[in-house]
């Protein structure tokens, strides 16, 4: 998984970069394929804002979060992205492939 972290009118320190990497590392458990994550951290007074865009296999997912401090915004963002990826993964599963009399050959 590749994570790019950028700041908009904010200096992205090594501590912030490491925190983003550690929080978003759990996203890779959902898919075997590599994920490209681009995060942007900014301050919109009085809130701190974190945004992320995930690109994988021709799909793009986007989420953003705001909180009183940057670490809380990153936590919220990681939770939102986790839910988005789980929702996307469930959509990929074909729910119409269950057992039915027609598919089993019982109706004829």
21-38 residue pLDDT tens: 999 988 888 777 778 899
**DSSP collapsed to 3 states, the chain:** CEEEEEEECCCCCHHHHHHHHHHHHHHHHCCCCCCEEEEEEEEECCEEEEEEEEEECCEEEEEEEEECCHHHHHHHHHHHHHHHHHHHHHHHCCHHHCCCHHHHCCCC
Which of 3.40.190.10, 3.60.20.10, 3.30.160.100, 3.40.50.300 is the CATH number of 2-92? 3.30.160.100
CA max distance for the chain: 69
The pLDDT value recorded for residue 89 is 81
The pLDDT value recorded for residue 8 is 92
Q: What's the whole-model pTM score? A: 0.80
The pLDDT value recorded for residue 108 is 46
**Cβ neighbours, 10 Å, residue 98:** 7
Positions in the chain short of pLDDT 50: 108
The pLDDT value recorded for residue 90 is 80
Q: Decide: 1 and 25 in contact? Cβ < 8 Å.
A: yes
- Rounded Cα distance, 108 and 90, in Å: 32
């Amino acid at each position: 998984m590749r994570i790019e972290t950028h700041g908009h009118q904010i200096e992205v320190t090594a501590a912030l970069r490491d925190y983003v990497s550690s929080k978003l590392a759990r996203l890779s458990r959902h898919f075997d394929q590599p994920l490209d994550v681009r995060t942007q951290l900014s301050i919109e007074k009085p809130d701190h804002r974190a945004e992320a865009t995930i690109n994988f296999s021709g799909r793009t997912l986007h989420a953003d979060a705001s909180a009183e401090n940057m670490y809380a915004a990153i936590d919220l963002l990681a939770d939102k992205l986790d839910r988005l990826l789980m929702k996307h993964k469930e959509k990929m599963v074909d729910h119409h492939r269950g057992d039915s009399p027609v598919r089993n050959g019982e109706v004829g």
